[in-house]
Amino acid sequence: MFVAPAFAQESETHSETGVAHEAGGAFPPFDSSTYPSQILWLAITFGLFYLFLQKVVLPRIGGILEVRSDRIAQDLDQAARMKEEADAAVAAYEQELATAKAKANAIGQEARDNAKADAEVERKRVESSLDKKLAEAEARIALIKDAAMSDVGTIAEDTVGAIVQELVGAKVDKSAVSAAVKAARS
Amino acid sequence: MADDPIHQFQISKWIPIEVGGLDFSFTNSSAFMVATVATAGAFLYLTTSSRGLIPSRLQSVSEMSYEFVASMLRDAAGTKGMRFFPLVFSLFMFVLVANMLGMIPYFFTVTSHIIVTFALAMLVIGTVVVYGFWKHGLKFLHLFVPSGVPKAVLPMVVLIELISFLSRPVSLSVRLFANMLAGHITLKVFAGFITSLSALGALGIGGAILPLFMTVALTGLEFLVSFLQAYVFAVLTCMYLNDAVHPSH
């Protein structure tokens, strides 16, 4: 390298280099007599370091990171799949719920209709029986009224007979009284 | 010697090795390079060994640094630039850990030597140039010829582009080196004030409180700088690599 000639001179002038330089006080970083040794050992150590990192350490760390990112991607995929499954389950549940609701409504409606029909029938039955009772009652009232009316005739005749007897003081002919009552009533 | 703020950058030989007149000794700098690499490598390796799907705290630190650098590179150079990810990640981790280790007292800071940062910068620029020519051939030179520039000023623009390209390794390396060097010298100087002031008796001890606070504050700042410079180095690396991947402006 380019330092070699300079170094050759140096090493000639200071044959016991180390001690001579320390005493001489040359600034160590610029002391070219140490350059070959430093370059050689740097090449050896750095070369080995480079090879070690390239062959062993970096593939290993790269592998670790790759495995981890793969694993994370895989986990994310799995999570997405599970979410899909959960969504499907929720949809199925909603569907089930909707059909169940519809069914419940239908059953309720049917029950309501049945109850309504039953109530209607009952009402009609009750109404007809009431009508019958009403008719009966009306018939009886008419009967009673007729009886009462005929009773009213006899009572009026008796009363008229009594009043006339009181007023006139003589027995009145019964047939004449009933004819007069009949004429007044009609 | 201990008060000398430059002393911490001194390189001392631990195992002398000399080949063909060149000094390749195993030094304290080499030892800390090994320590940096071992610390970073062991941390990344051990924290990820369980391969937890749910990361532990330390594992997530490793993962965060991975994703931090990856997104930085992807933002700057696109997906095509991701082939340089090992390089950028190694550079980032190396510079970061070297800076952080250098913050421990008595530890040597590898990145406080210009030759180290320059070598790393040359590695980046070399990668850019080699990959650029290998992938795009001579079209890589479009990097220096922005489209839509009038013919009259084109030579000037090309010259400026060329200079800015050539100055990249220098700015990249000097930025990191100077930050680490200056930070450590400043820390050492302020810490030195504490000891020299407190040697002056009761008044001196009272006066030493100020540089003590300063040292504490600067230590925090230096940790920030350590991270920031590693980040800046990595970001600029990404941007330069983007030129290699997409040479036409």
**Domain regions of chain A by residue span:** 4-145, 149-185
Query: What is the extent of the structural domain holding B231?
Result: 7-245
Q: Residue B13 gets which letter from DSSP?
A: E
B2 domain residue, yes or no? no
Task: Give the tens place of pLDDT for each residue, A50-78.
Answer: 999 999 999 999 999 999 999 999 999 99
CA distance A55 to chain B (A): 9
Task: Give the tens place of pLDDT for each residue, B108-161.
Answer: 999 999 999 999 999 999 999 999 999 888 888 888 888 888 888 888 999 999
On chain A, the residues whose CB falls within 8 A of the CB of B64 are none
Which residues of chain A carry a pLDDT beneath 50? Answer: 1-24
What burial class does residue B233 get, using C-beta atoms within 10 Å of its C-beta: 0-12 exposed, 13-18 middle, 19+ buried?
A: buried
Strand partners of residue B15: B26
Q: Which of residues 33-52 of B touch A (CB under 8 A)?
A: 33-34, 36-37, 40-41, 44-45, 48, 51-52
B1 domain residue, yes or no? no
Q: Position of tokens 């200071």?
A: A14
pLDDT at A23: 42
Nearest to A63 by CA among B38, B66, B46: B66
Residue-wise DSSP of chain A: -TTHHHHHHHHHH-SSHHHHHHHHT--GGG-GGGHHHHHHHHHHHHHHHHHHIIIIIHHHHHHHHHHHHHHHHHHHHHHHHHHHHHHHHHHHHHHHHHHHHHHHHHHHHHHHHHHHHHHHHHHHHHHHHHHHHHHHHHHHHHHHHHHHHHHHHHHHHHHHHHHHHHHH-SPPPHHHHHHHHHHHH-
Task: Give the tens place of pLDDT for each residue, B74-91.
Answer: 999 989 889 999 999 999
Which tokens hold the place of B122?
A: 């040359």
Instruction: Indicate the number of domains in chain B.
Output: 1
Q: How confident is the model at residue B12 (pLDDT cuts 50, 70, 90)?
A: confident
| Identity of the residue in A22, A33, A37 whose CB atom sits nearest the CB atom of B10 | A22
B16 domain residue, yes or no? yes
